[in-house]
Amino acid sequence: MKTSPYTIQYSTFETGIEGLLKLLQKDNKQHLVDEILSNLIELRPDNQDRVPLCDVTQNIHTIARITNDPYLGAKTISLVDLDSLPLYKTLKHCTQILNQSGNSLPINVLATLIGRYFSVISEVVSVDIQYHKHTISIELTPSQPDQISYHQIEGSTFGLFRIIHSLSNAQVQSINFTHSRPNNAGTTYQDLFSFSPQHGTAKNQLILLSSHAVESLGENSLLTLNSIQSLLDTTFPGLNDRERCQHILRSILSFGEPTRENVASIMSISVSTLQRKLRVQQTSFKELLLETRQTMAHELLITHQRNVSDMAFLLGYQSSSQFFKAFKKWFGLTPLEYKGRHQKK
C-alpha cells in the first residue's frame, strides 16, 4: 500500500462510477454520459489495482462541474449496490452467521473493522475512531484538504453510514461536515438517508451511540476479524507478515492487551508459526507491539490531540497511570513535555 503519493483502489472508483450511471439515469441526464467520459482522466491501475488519488479527485471535480449537482457525492453513494463491496459482503456474511446463533457483532468491533479496512482501501480520508463512554465518533480527515471535493467527503461519510446502518442496530446521533451546506439545499439528505447532517462544524464526523459494545475480544469478534484479515490478504497479497501483524495490532489494541494467541488466530496460523514468521522479518511479537504502541502514541498525541486517558484506552492499557509510566520510559518525557517539544519544532 502506498502512502505517497496518495492512492485509491481502482475498484472503489469503479463502484462510484456505477452509482453515478444509476444517478444519471434516475435524473434523466443520460445525455451527459458521453461528455463526462470524454473529459475524464484515463486511470491506469498499478499491479496492486491502485490509481493516483489526484487523478480520481480531478475526475470527481469534472463530473461535479458537468452534472452541476450539489448532492453528487451523497446521491451517488445512495445508489451504490452494497453487495458489490467486498468489505460489506464479508461483514454481512459474518453478521448472518452470528445472527443465526443468536449473537450480534458489537458496534465498536464493527466500527473498528470498517474504519481499518476503509483507511487501507482509500486514502481520500484518514479515519480516526474515538471511543467515549456513550458514543463512538468516526472522524474523517481529508488527506489533501485543498484538493479533495466535499462530494468525496460526503460520499465517504454516507458510505460508512449505509454500511453500519445496514449491518447493525446502531443508532446514529449525528453526522457533521466542516463544509457549508450546498447551495439550493432542500430536503435531499433526509430523502436519501432519513437523516440530515449538520454543516459548518469543526470536524467531519459520524457519531454513533455505543450501548452495544464490548471491552474485550470474544470468539465472535475474532471470527469476524479473521474474515476481514482474509479479505485484506486477498486484496493486498504483497503485504509481508510484519505489516499484517501491525495492522492487526492497530485494530485490536483498544480491546485490551493483545495476545499472541489472538493475533495468530486472526491470521489463521499457530502461535509458533507467527513467532517463526516474525523472526524471518527480524522482529518479535513483543518488539512489534512496542513499536506499534509508540507509533500510535505519537499519532494520537500530536496528530489527533488525544488526552492521556483516551490514549491509555486506545493502546490497551488498564489505567492512565500504567500508560503514563510506559510513555515516559519510551521517550524520556511526559506526554505534556513530549507534546510541547514537538510543537516547538
DSSP characters over 171-200: PEEEEEESSPPPTT--SHHHHHHS---EES
**Dihedral (CA of 163, 165, 170, 176) sign:** positive
Q: What is the CATH number of domain 240-344?
A: 1.10.10.60
Roughly how many angstroms between the first and final C-alpha of the chain, as a whole number? 29
Whether pTM > 0.85 for this model: the answer is no
| 80: Cα separation from own chain's centroid | 18
Q: How many helices (H) and strands (E) does the chain have?
A: 16, 7
**Dihedral (CA of 22, 23, 26, 30) sign:** negative
For the chain, the structural domain boundaries read: 7-80, 84-209, 240-344
- Amino acid at residue number 37: L
* Alpha-carbon distances of 23 from 18, 26, 74, 80, 272, rounded to whole Å: 9, 5, 11, 10, 52
77 contacts 162 by C-beta, under 8 angstroms? yes
Q: What is the pLDDT at residue 71?
A: 93
Mean pLDDT in consecutive groups of 10 residues from the start of the chain, 345 residues: 70 92 95 96 89 95 95 95 87 80 76 81 86 84 93 95 87 94 75 90 92 65 82 79 88 83 91 95 94 92 84 85 94 92 69
Q: Which helix (H) or strand (E) holds 38?
A: helix 33-39
Q: What is the pLDDT at residue 248?
A: 87
Residue 328: CB atoms within 10 A of its CB come to 14
Q: Rounded CA gap, 14 and 72, in Å?
A: 15
